[in-house]
Structure 1
């Protein structure tokens, strides 16, 4: 079963291999159609039928409502009356001034889980070159869900060109994203004001990338790094501190680091902390076991994969101290 319902992109085929290609600089209306985002979320009261003594009656359930697609009428979720819906067109409209006057360029947009989750990703125009012509570009991801699985989330992310590995960039001191829970109304201008400050985070991120690319690591440090990153807590009832080492994953990332990863031979990555980090990000984005390519995309951006990459980033920075 695929998570991706529809998707559009410009440029090279995305790393997940999904979607239909657009020519650059298309208006948002074209993006909405080609990305499958030209519909809206509608809502209805929940009603149920009961029968007593042969008499049927209809009752309302006042505390919740059902959300459904305007085009297919397919149900999406059941939410509380306090749930604030963010529409697909609002995700694209967020980028209008950024693309028309701010130098941003939409690169992918689409719908996951039959409409329950949707996103758009734009190139910010920021980039950095590490030694050996290792280029990293900056992006802004905006995504939301109407089934309670994701707050409306704006996330700065980087993409390493040679391998299309993705990595979130810290937004100020508030973690790697700006999140608006659905109990609050989505205010795009407020998010942009926060991002206006956060865009400067790119400079600090670039400095750390360069430091990682110049930080040489030995065999003991490599092994310890992978063990720290790929040791997971377990749910053993008798031991709240129990953990488990993912041997299969460690073997894969060791091979990637040793030269099998794209760009592993570059001066920036070979024998460096940057190479260690990218062996984990490549594992998450391209090799980690998943039910499908689009399940891997969902995890790499929003789920366990994103958390694993963040853990690798934090551990890599410790190597600089």
Structure 2
């Protein structure tokens, strides 16, 4: 199968990787689990050497549907089943939550789900829809993570800025008191209104930071640097990316009335980070874009910090 997407569903428009099962409307958790291909469990089994000697302290995480070994973990590792993840988000977001997309990456080693929060915000005249992303690994490579991701509706750009004044994500490792940690996560994610309020104030602040054309050009060159050891071909590739980002700032129809300011620049960088094709397109580049939905995008955060010091 192409890329790293194993199974998934999506609603409305075809997603970034072009795979999955289209459904007419966002389903509830039990149906979402089934059509996303996530209705399987992870079993923990002992690990042996080639000579049938038990390896103490380790277990194999095995998918029950096909006996696929997802990873080898320590015996302190506690599995969070896919159905538990959906039950968690049901409890977090309330009865009747609808899932926009969910699926499996890397042959089941990583799973995710994306749910749209019921409230839409009008911030600085913009329609902003907050989404909650839940991601989990079954191979021991990462933590459970939940994150709030605001989407600018007019262009589907992510605006998940790393604010100093409000938290938008929470994570936990697969050891210790899992149930207690999940309760902590509920308390954290209920602070969505606080983050959105802080984001609105920051948007107004960014609108007040005036940027000259030269500043914008300089910032783009800093964000997309040309290294001394680059080949002529690499330099041309970077220049194409720079021109792409310039067009998203100067020519985007949805930004023409925003003014020449930090808010416009952040939106242009976000549009570039969310939708542009990279200079070197790896097999899983779209999955990396999606991963940054939860983890945050360093390019957007770097642009944000530069504008704050303008």
Q: Is TM-score (shorter-chain normalized) higher than 0.5?
A: yes
Show CA shifts across 1:100-128 (max 9, x none).
44x75422211111111111111223333
Match of 1:49 in 2: 50
CA distance in 2, matches of 1:232, 1:175: 34
Shift of 1:182: 2.4
Match of 2:235 in 1: none
Match of 1:162 in 2: 154
Match of 2:57 in 1: 63
Match of 2:219 in 1: 225
CA distance in 1, matches of 2:195, 2:166: 12
Normalization by structure 2: what TM-score? Answer: 0.82
How many residues in Structure 1 have an aligned counterpart in Structure 2? 296
1:73 aligns with 2:61: no
Structure 1: gaps spanning 5 or more residues: 51-57, 235-245
Match of 1:82 in 2: 76
8 Å contact kept, 1:142–1:153: yes
Structure ranking higher in strand proportion:
1
8 Å contact kept, 1:172–1:198: no
- Structural mapping, 1:87-106, within 5 Å: 87-101=81-95, 104-106=97-99
Shift of 1:210: 3.4
Comparing 306-315 with 62-71, greater Cα deviation is found at: 306-315
For the aligned residue pairs, the C-alpha RMSD in angstroms reads 3.0
8 Å contact kept, 2:90–2:97: no
Structure 2: gaps spanning 5 or more residues: 229-237
Match of 2:307 in 1: 316
Show CA shifts across 1:200-235 (max 9, x none).
11111122123324543211221232244345999x
Normalization by structure 1: what TM-score? Answer: 0.80
8 Å contact kept, 2:166–2:198: no
CA distance in 2, matches of 1:178, 1:247: 37
Match of 1:237 in 2: none
Match of 1:208 in 2: 202
CA distance in 2, matches of 1:288, 1:25: 28
Match of 1:139 in 2: 131
CA distance in 2, matches of 1:313, 1:150: 27
Residue of 260, 269, 282 corresponding to 1:291: 282
CA distance in 2, matches of 1:185, 1:283: 41
Match of 1:183 in 2: 175
Show CA shifts across 1:150-173 (max 9, x none).
311111111111221113255776
Match of 1:280 in 2: 269
Structure ranking higher in helix proportion:
2
Alpha carbons of structure 1 residues 74 and 151: separation in structure 2 relative to 1, 3 Å = same
Alpha carbons of structure 1 residues 18 and 280: separation in structure 2 relative to 1, 3 Å = farther
